[in-house]
Amino acid sequence: FENRFKYVDELSRMGASIKVEGGNVAIIEGVEGFTGAAISAPDLRAGAALVVAALVAEGYSTVDCIHYIERGYECFEDKLAALGGYIEKIPVDDERAVQKFKLKVG
């Protein structure tokens, strides 16, 4: 589907080496690991993948636009925490503000 690789820029912020060619091919070069970063979930599945990548990253990551994830996965942060991941939802004062997860492998 169109824009299927829109999360590649977010993974690149974490240290991934990915080159997209022609809109439907991704060339991925392995890296030693990811580094925590401020990233944004562009959709449901990509958002979940980014959260999992953030959990294995060195340092903290913040994932915004989590409304996509919350819409599609019930108690997502609780399930990952049950598996040993350190994940918390950052409270926001303003209802219009984007909700975020703060993540760290625990």
pLDDT tens-digit readout, 16-56:
999 999 888 999 999 999 999 999 999 999 999 999 999 99
Average pLDDT over residues 52-76: 91
Domain boundaries, the chain: 36-105
Give strand ranges (E) for the chain: 17-21, 25-29, 38-40, 61-64, 85-90, 100-105
Stated pTM of the model = 0.84
Distances (CA, A) of 46 to 43, 50, 81, 91: 6, 6, 19, 22
pLDDT at 102: 64
